[in-house]
């Protein structure tokens, strides 16, 4: 059984997640927090959730990225994935993204 892989990339400011089908070599779903400001999350039209006047820390933004990834994946029929944290420890923003994806309905 081949499950898609949720790959995480973390920069100093942002976090990126993408679900990849390794057999086809293509990205199925992707999300990041690059378009977000400190005071709002991307609007629903941009694939996000709007929160009014609430400052979000990087860890909180990472959790929201996980939820957005899960939402997009479920719409494409992806329910189970393999979590690929790369060389990052399962801690902080990486852990928050994984928890957000789980909260959104994905199974690891």
Q: How confident is the model at residue 2 (pLDDT cuts 50, 70, 90)?
A: confident
The Cα–Cα gap between 64 and 34 comes to 12
Residue 5: predicted pLDDT: 96
Q: How confident is the model at residue 53 (pLDDT cuts 50, 70, 90)?
A: very low
Please check the confidence at residue 52 and state whether its pLDDT lies above 60: no
What value does the mean pLDDT of the chain take? 87
Question: Where are the chain's structural domains?
Answer: 5-103
More confident residue, 56 or 45: 56
> What pLDDT is attached to residue 44?
52
7: closest CA among 41, 38, 30, 25? 30
Residue 65's nearest CA partner among 56, 53, 54 is: 56
Tokens of 27: 């990205």
Determine the pLDDT at residue 25: 93
What global pTM score does this model have? 0.83
Q: At the topology level of CATH, where does 5-103 sit?
A: Nucleotidyltransferase; domain 5 (3.30.420)
Q: Flag the least confident range among 11-15, 40-44, 67-71, 80-84.
A: 40-44
């Amino acid at each position: 059984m081949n499950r898609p892989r949720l790959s995480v990339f973390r920069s100093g400011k942002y976090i990126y997640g993408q679900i990849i089908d390794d057999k086809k070599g293509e990205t199925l779903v992707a999300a990041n927090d690059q378009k977000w400001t400190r005071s709002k999350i991307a609007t629903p039209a941009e694939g996000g959730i709007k929160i009014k006047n609430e400052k979000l820390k990087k860890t909180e933004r990472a959790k929201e990225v996980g939820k957005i990834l899960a939402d997009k994946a479920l719409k494409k029929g992806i329910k189970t994935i393999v979590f690929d944290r790369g060389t990052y420890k399962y801690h902080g923003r990486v852990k928050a993204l994984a928890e957000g994806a789980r909260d959104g309905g994905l199974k690891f």
